Chains A and B, each alone.
Chain A
C-alpha cells in the first residue's frame, strides 16, 4: 500500500520507510491504519496511527504481544510498559475497560524510532443518555485508563474538570475518546467529544474557553456550514488547555455541501490547504487490487485495501498570537493562529461478491 502512487505523493520516502519498519514491530491485530497530513502550516511531517478493535480477538492478540524495543530511553521503556499493562487490562473481563472500550487507537509521531511510545486513544461505548449518566457509566473505565497509562491517578482538580466536561454535554453530545498523549509526557487527559454543531460555542464557553470564540465563530461560518455534528478535542488537566481541535468529516455525507470536494474547496479558500496538496489528497480515496483468491480447492477469501479521507482537524490556540510561521503563507482567516490537518485512513476488507 505504501508503494501506491497516492501514498508516494503524500508521504515522504523516509516516513514510508519508517512506517514499514514500525508496522513490522506491531502485532497482527491492527484493524486499519492512517496518516496525519499537515496542511496549515504545510510541512512534510506525517504521523502514523493504527487501531485495535475488541471484536475478532484483536485486543487479546495485542495483550499477548511483546514489543521489541531497541534504543528506548528509560522513560520511553517505562511508558511502553504502561501501554502493555493497558492492553492486558483491556483484555481482562473483570476490568471496566473490557465492557466500555471497543476500539483503541495508537498514534505514533514521526520519526518512528522503536523506543518512542504511541499516544493511546480509548474509544468509549456508552448508553444513550445525558452527560451525567455517561459520567456515571464511564468513570470506572476512565479511572483505569488514566491510572494505567499515566502511572498514577489523575488529581482532584483534573477529575473535577473531567466531570464538568461530561455534565456540560448538550443533548446528543457524547464523550467518544479518552486519550493519553504519552510522547508529550503530559498528565492532561485528551477528550474527543461528539456534539451537535449548534451547541459547540456554548459548550466551550461553559468550560471557560472564551478567548478563541471569535476565531471559532469565523471557522464555523466559513467551514462548518454543512455539518450537523462535529467532534471537539480538548485537553483536561488541572485547567483546560488553551488548544482546542475541531474535527469534521465528509465521509458518508449525504449532501454535496458536506462531501469531501466541498470541504477541500473551503479549506483552500481559507488558505488552510494548498491547491497542490488538495489535489494530492483528492487522489487518496480508492480501492486497491484484490489479493488472495478462493477456488474449489480452498484458498483465502480475497481482500483489498480501501483508502478514504477520514476527517479534517482545525486547531485553534488563543494563547498563540495571530500570524503564521515564517516561510508559510498566511491563512485568509483573521484572528488567532489556526493549524489544519487532514487524516487519511485505510483498512483491509473482504472483497464483496459481485
Chain B
C-alpha cells in the first residue's frame, strides 16, 4: 500500500518497525519503492547502503517537510487547509518558448488563476498561465499549466496561484528556488 508521498523517511521508518513491510521489500524492493513514490535519486541513495548518506538525506527530508515553529515541528493533524505551492517543475525555460509547468501543493483549485511573477516584484509584467488540469487530493494537489513566454524578459520568477478574489495568493518560496527564463 503506497503512501505516494515521495519521502524516503516514511519508507525507512515503516521498514524499521513493520516486519511484513520488510518481507515485501525483500520480495520486491522496486514495487515497495514505487508505492512510496520514490525518485531515482532517492532509490540510489537507499541502495548505496551508506548509513551516513541515508541518514543525512532523511534529515534533510525531515527538515524540509516539518516546518518549525518555536523549535517544535508543526503537527499535520489540524484539519484546516493550508493552501500552498510546494514545488514545481521544470525550473527553467528558454525565452519566447511555451513551457508546461507541473505545480504541486495543497488546495490548488481547478478554478485558480496562475501567473509567473518577477522574483523581486520589479516593474516587469507577470506572465499569465493557462490551467490545463488539476488532479490529486486537496492535500496533495497537482496542477498542470502552460505559459507562453513570448516577450517575457530573462530573469527569475515565482509561481503564483490565486484561488479566488477574496483569498490571499499562494506563491512559491520567497527565497527560491525560482523559475528562470534564460
Contact = CB atoms under 8 A, between A and B. Distances in A.
A and B co-occur in one complex: yes
A247 B137 contact: no
Interface stretch (A64-72, A150-158, A223-231): A223-231
Contacts of B79: 123, 176-177, 192, 194, 231
B72 A249 contact: no
Interface string B75-97: 10111111100000000000000
A306 B16 contact: no
A253 B10 CA distance: 25
B81 A172 contact: yes
B137 A251 contact: no
A352 interface: yes
A231 B78 CA distance: 9
B138 to A, nearest CB: 5
B166 interface: yes
Contacts of A126: 137-138
B163 interface: yes
Contact of B77 (A32, A57, A228): A32
Given A128-B137, A285-B72, A350-B13, A51 B77 contact: yes
Contacts of B136: 127-128
Q: How large is the interface on B (under 10, 10 to 19, 20 to 34, 35 or more residues)?
A: 35 or more
A55 B163 contact: no
Interface string A89-105: 00000000000000100
A306 B69 contact: no
Interface stretch (A6-14, A76-84, A235-243, A307-315): A307-315
A306 B70 CA distance: 12
Nearest to B70: A285
B121 interface: no
Q: Which of A194, A252, A259, A350 has the most CB of B within 10 A?
A: A252
B163 A171 contact: yes
Q: Which of B14, B62, B72 has the most CB of A within 10 A?
A: B72
Interface stretch (B23-31, B39-47, B105-113): B105-113
B172 interface: no
B72 A287 contact: yes
Interface string A171-186: 1101011000000000
A192 B136 CA distance: 21
A320 interface: no
Closest 4 CB pairs of A and B: A198-B166, A176-B79, A353-B59, A252-B74
Interface of B: 3, 10, 13-14, 16-18, 20, 55-56, 58-59, 62-63, 66-67, 69-75, 77-83, 107-111, 134-139, 141, 163-164, 166-168
Given A56-B14, A125-B139, A177-B79, 5 more contacts: A128-B137, A248-B80, A285-B70, A311-B80, A350-B13
